[in-house]
Amino acid sequence: MTSPVNINRRSIGVNFTETGEAEVLLWAPLCNKACIRLLDSNRMHALQKQEYGYWHLRTDQLRPGDVYSFVLDEKEELPDPASLSQPEGVHGPSRAIALHDFQWTDQEWKNPLLEDYIFYEVHVGTFSDRGTFRALEKKLPYLKSLGINAIEIMPVAQFPGERNWGYDGVFPFAVQQSYGGAKDLQHLVNACHNHDIAVVLDVVYNHFGPEGNYMSKFAPYFTDKYKTPWGDAVNFDDAWCDGVRQYFIENVLMWFRDFHIDALRLDAVHAIKDFSPMHILREIREHVNQLIHERWKMHYLIVELDLNDTRYIDHPERGGYGMDAQWIDEFHHALRVTSGEGQNGYYSDFDGIRHLAKSYRDAYVYDGIYSPHRQKKFGVKADEHPGFQFIVFSQNHDQVGNRMSGERTSQLASFEMQKMLAGAMLVSPYLPLLFMGEEYGETNPFLYFVSHSDPELVENVRKGRKAEFAAFHLQGEAPDPQAEETFRQSKLQWELLEQDQNKILFSFYQSLIALRKELPALRHLNRKQLDVSWNEDTNTLQLHRWDHEHHVLCLMNFSNSRQTVSVTTEQRWKKVFDSADPQWNGPGASADLLTNISVLALQPESIILYTSEYV
């Protein structure tokens, strides 16, 4: 028996047929005997060996809710590598779940066009005091009122303990128990769809976490052909890689099919090492396309990528991997340096407003030019790729959490600059992403936190964090990642929304998001219909975007003093938004109209939007 991927149902692990029987499929090619032990009855059932290292059993003795483990060669008793639930954590037994039992009510839901997405990144554990899917669900009306139509959830694959960013997951199919588990995630997705909000899930296919990682005891899930920051690479192209590839393809399909997830964000795909004739991302793309075709439901694949390599987002017909979009950190880096960020670490490659203007125009800053930080030419041009293939942000979990003290923008910049950064991101010709809490100026940090049980591992994590900050020449000690207080400090303070300035900032974001949706020149992400100019002496930038006869002119002053800009036009420009307006607690509004040659005074750290219709 081979085990081809089944588009319509999960094949690996423990699954249930329509008649209620359990079908068990385990990949353990190097063992001589495999059994499943049912803990409630303490009964052992032998699995039958099939081709290509698979072991199979069909039985009516295993029911949803039962707890079980696998026993290999009558020695090691281990949780299921394809477990859907780990009720006792990463070291405990697995629990069988019937995913198809959930009663969905989202039949009328239609995934929006990717170009219409407004992302909002969420860490479930710190988004609310309770830190659960159910608590997040209660905030959906709030997110909808903000203008969000896509929440991006940081990884929920089961990780050690109850405090983690999620990138230390070791059970890619199991939903974190402390968040509420699989059924509560299904409930959240269903509720999101009923609020007209898409759900993006962050998944990690480039490594497994260090604690509770039993994968190599089952099969060659790793290869020493390549090294990654986390050790041996996941085995996508070495001996026995077929079973590994199936494992991750099945995972992708499960999220889309069984949890109704709308898009996946694949973490750090540049760390996926695969020199197969068909790259694993391309193979994932083909299976997702088949699922879309059979179910008539659209799903997107988004990647985090640090290579400035369009091969990842190129269509397969052009030799690409067919990913729908990618994060681009370079817009963020150029934006932060423009706003006054020190040029340390990876910021050393960015010189401010000139590079920000280049990112507005070219997406990648480094598109074949020399990178002093890397000491080589880096990247390729992305001229032919539409704006919706790039996701930009002024802050996200990495850029906040990888600071030694986890400071958000609210702690690093003035109120005017907070508005300035939001505006610069939301008027870009790319997809915008907000990080939870930025819309009202959350002041709590977002720190790095873990809850490992191995003292040696905890100490290694502490040392690793310290080494990371050395590149930024930072002094002092970072908060202890293992301490519960570090996690508690990172929780959102929803009561801040009761304060006047936080209310104003929320309304500012709300209005600017609404304007982006309303104005065709901002909503349509045509990178060919864009002009940008800048002045390094005054740290000002002019961004002109248009769609047919609809035009928008964005004037930005990143300096901390008033600056004058000249606008030469034969058209009449009407102001539609001004971050310096007193209604946003600004120092004073600028001219409502621009005609002919206008010399305009821009308030410090401000952005103004004008519209015009060319007839």
Q: Give binding residues as ranges.
A: 265-270, 329-333, 397-402
Rounded Cα–Cα distance for residues 167 and 268 (Å): 11
Beta bridge mates, 202? 265
* CA 259 to chain CA centroid, nearest Å: 17
Tell me which residues are annotated as active site.
267, 304
Q: At what angle do helices 415-426 and 500-518 cross, to 10 degrees?
A: 20
At which residue do the structure tokens 């996946």 appear?
264
Identify the H or E element spanning 362: helix 353-362
- Which tokens is 176 given? 């974190």
**Total residue length of the chain:** 615
For residue 268, give the DSSP letter.
Answer: T
Question: What DSSP letter does each residue of 39-100 carry, written as one string?
Answer: TTTTEEEEPEE-GGGEEEEEESS--TT-EEEEEETTTEEE--TT-S--TT-TTS-EE---GG
Per 3-state DSSP, what percentage of the chain is helix, strand, and coil (rounded to 5)? 30, 25, 45
* Structure tokens given for 321: 């991997």
Q: What are phi and psi of 206, to 5 degrees?
A: -95, -15
d(C-alpha 350, C-alpha 558), whole Å: 15
What is the distance between the alpha carbons of residues 338 and 607, in angstroms, rounded to a whole number?
14
Residues 402-425 as b or e (16 or more Cβ within 10 Å = b): bbbebbbbbebbebbbbbbbbbbb
Burial-class residue 562 by CB neighbours within 10 Å (0-12, 13-18, 19+): middle
Write b or e for each residue in 66-83: b if 16 or more Cβ atoms lie within 10 A of its Cβ, otherwise e: bbbbbbbeeeeebbbbbb
- Residue 484: how many other CB atoms lie within 10 Å: 13
Binding annotation for substrate: 265-270, 329-333, 397-402
In whole angstroms, what is the distance from residue 71 CA to residue 78 CA? 6
DSSP letters spanning 272-294? ----SSS-HHHHHHHHHHHHHHH
Whether 213 contacts 276, CB under 8 Å: no
Q: How far apart are CA 565 and CA 542, in angstroms?
A: 9
Place of tokens 């817009």: 331
Secondary structure letter of residue 314 according to DSSP: S
- Rounded to 5 degrees, what angle do the CA atoms 320, 326, 329 make? 130
Distance CA 567, CA 92 (A): 66
User: Would you call 417 helix, strand, or coil by DSSP?
Assistant: helix
Q: If you search the block for the tokens 């990647």, which residue do you land on?
A: 303
* Among 295, 226, 306, residue whose Cα is nearest residue 266: 306
